[in-house]
Amino acid sequence: MTTWHWVRHGPTHQKTFTGWRDAPADLSDGAAIARLKAHLPAHALVISSDLRRSVDTATAIQGNRTRLAHDPGLREFHFGTWDGVVFDTVSDRHPDLSRAYWEEPGDHAPPGGESWNASATRIAAVVRRIEAAHPEAHIIAVAHFGVILTQVQAVLGQSARDVLAQKIDNLSVTTLAPRLGLATHINHCP
């Protein structure tokens, strides 16, 4: 059984929608990085999305672990024309759509972007491919808020609306054992 250790990348300090835009992570908190690195399984494989904030975070925690190729399928949700725009501006420009996107996540998509369901399908395909290639491994996957939430949703069988209530901090670990339906979440490493 593959066990996933989902790590949310370091903070970007963005006050806007940040999806496929390649914003860097702030990895200046060396103590937090060291705690995270020490907490994760020593012999796990490491993978990340191909966006800089995840790649750099994965590099910071990799140590002697084997690194898999960055995977664009693990990118954050694609926010289309909303990417780089502050939340209030999006709400003003698209009041009904922005409300539906958060209150009824599923098939609603930002202009030029992805819906929750489309993102979840994209991410699930990557997870299935990696599980097939590494069926007994521990995988440290450095990714994004939305990516991690889709996997919590899949393992726990919650609705997208319910899973949006989860808090996934930067540099936190969410451990999932999908075949067992198990999930543990560590918001801050010990």
- Distance of alpha carbon 90 from alpha carbon 108, whole angstroms: 14
Q: In what order do the strands lie in the sheet with 3-8?
A: 66-67, 45-48, 138-143, 3-8, 173-177, 182-186
pLDDT at site 50? 98
- Distance of alpha carbon 185 from alpha carbon 172, whole angstroms: 8
Q: Count CA atoms closer than 13 A to 153's CA, side-chain side.
A: 22
| pLDDT mean for each 10 residues of the chain (190 residues) | 95 96 97 95 97 98 97 98 98 97 96 98 97 96 97 92 93 84 55
- DSSP for 83-151, please give it: TTSBHHHHHHHSHHHHHHHHHS-SS---TTS--HHHHHHHHHHHHHHHHHHSTT-EEEEEE-HHHHHHH
pLDDT at site 190? 45
Distances (CA, A) of 176 to 6, 93, 96: 8, 37, 34
Domain boundaries, the chain: 3-12+25-78+114-173
pLDDT at site 1? 85
Distances (CA, A) of 117 to 40, 120, 121, 123, 133: 30, 5, 6, 10, 24
Asked if residues 187 and 174 have their Cβ atoms less than 8 Å apart, the reply is: no
- Distance of alpha carbon 102 from alpha carbon 73, whole angstroms: 22
**Hey, what CATH class is 3-12+25-78+114-173 in?**
alpha beta
